[in-house]
Amino acid sequence: HYFGAKDELLLATMRHILAELTADTLRALGSANSARERVSAVVAVNFSDIQFQPETIAAWLAFYVEAQKSSAWRRLLKVYARRLHSNLMSGLTGILPRAEADRAAEATAAMIDGLYIRRALKDGVPDAATAIALVEDYLETKLGERRKQ
CATH number (domain holding residue 16): 1.10.357.10
Segments of the chain scoring below 70 in pLDDT = 1-5, 124-126, 146-149
What pLDDT does 149 receive?
Answer: 56
Distance between CA 46 and CA 48 in Å, rounded? Answer: 6
Distance between CA 128 and CA 119 in Å, rounded? Answer: 10
What pLDDT does 122 receive?
Answer: 83
What pLDDT does 144 receive?
Answer: 86
Q: Per the domain annotation, does 55 fall within a domain?
A: yes
What range defines the domain where residue 81 resides?
6-148
Q: How many domains does the chain have?
A: 1
What pLDDT does 1 receive?
Answer: 53
Q: Per the domain annotation, does 1 fall within a domain?
A: no
Distance between CA 72 and CA 78 in Å, rounded? Answer: 10
